[in-house]
Amino acid sequence: METYDSQLHEIAAQAARLVVEEGLEYGPAKRRAVKAMGLPQRTALPDNELVEDEVRGYITLFCADTQPDELAALRRLALLWMDRLAQFRPYLGGAVWHGTATRLSDVYIQLFCDDPKSAELSLIDHHVDYEPRTVTGFQGDTVEALSVHAFSEELGEHIGVHLLIYDLDDLRGALKPDSRGRTPRGNSAAVAALLREKKDDER
C-alpha cells in the first residue's frame, strides 16, 4: 500500500510541474507524467485534489514571487468578461477561482443561460471571434464551450477564456460544495472580493 501511495504522490508531483510550467490541465498532465515515468498506460492516477495539493506546493517553492500577481491579473481579466456577460449569470471556476493559476493558465467561466444559443449570439453581435468546442463539464457530461483569445494588458499576452454553456437549471447543482467543502466556483461579487482581499493583504 505504501508503494502504491508513493507512486500516486510521485505522479501527482510530476503532473503538478507540468501544470505550472506548461499550463496543462490536470487530466493531460497526469497522463504525461505516467508516460514520462515509464509506467503502464493503465496505471492508476491520483485524484485532482492530490494534484492540486502538489500544484500549491510547487507554486510556493518555485513561483512565490510571481504567481500572486499573475493570478490577480487573470482574475481581473475574468471579471472583465463576467461583467460583459452578466446577463448569462457567469461563474468563475478552475485554477483561476481556486487560486492555483499562473500566466499559463486558461480562464474557465460557466454561463447559465435561459437559451443555450443566447451567449453565442451575443458574441456574434459584439463581433467577438470565438471557437466553438465541446468539453467535459462539472457533472462529467459533454458541454458546449465558446473559446476566446483575450488579451491581458497586465500580462502582455493573449489568454484563453473558455465560456462553458449550461442550462439555467444546472445552476443549483453548480454551487454544491466540492469534496473538500469549498465553493467550486464564484460569481462576479465573489471574484471581486478575492481581488479586494489581495489588495488589503498588500497594505
Are 123 and 175 contained in the same domain? Answer: yes
The pLDDT tens digits for 30-80 are: 999 999 999 999 999 999 999 999 999 999 999 999 999 999 999 999 999
Are 98 and 16 contained in the same domain? Answer: no
The answer to whether the predicted template modeling score (pTM) of the entire model surpasses 0.85 is: yes
pLDDT category, 2, cuts 50, 70, 90? low
Are 86 and 173 contained in the same domain? Answer: yes
Q: Which residue has the cell 490541465?
A: 25
Angle, alpha carbons 150-169-149 (nearest 5°): 10
Instruction: Flag whether pLDDT at 201 surpasses 80.
Output: no
Are 74 and 174 contained in the same domain? Answer: yes
Q: What is the pLDDT of residue 178?
A: 87
Is the separation of the CB atoms in 52 and 98 below 8 Å?
yes
The average pLDDT across 109-115 equals 96
Domain termination residue (choose one: 44, 62, 80) = 62
Kindly report the CATH number assigned to the domain that includes residue 180. Answer: 3.30.460
pLDDT category, 1, cuts 50, 70, 90? low
Are 89 and 166 contained in the same domain? Answer: yes
Are 44 and 91 contained in the same domain? Answer: no
Are 149 and 195 contained in the same domain? Answer: yes
Count of domains forming the chain:
2
Q: What is the pLDDT of residue 100?
A: 97
Q: What is the pLDDT of residue 140?
A: 81
Range(s) of the domain holding residue 186: 67-202
Are 12 and 102 contained in the same domain? Answer: no
Are 27 and 119 contained in the same domain? Answer: no
Q: What is the pLDDT of residue 19?
A: 97
**Which of the pair, 139 or 132, is modelled with greater confidence?**
132
Q: What is the pLDDT of residue 63?
A: 97
Domain termination residue (choose one: 15, 30, 62) = 62
**Which of the pair, 137 or 166, is modelled with greater confidence?**
166
The average pLDDT across 142-149 equals 96
Alpha-carbon span 156 to 151, nearest angstrom = 7
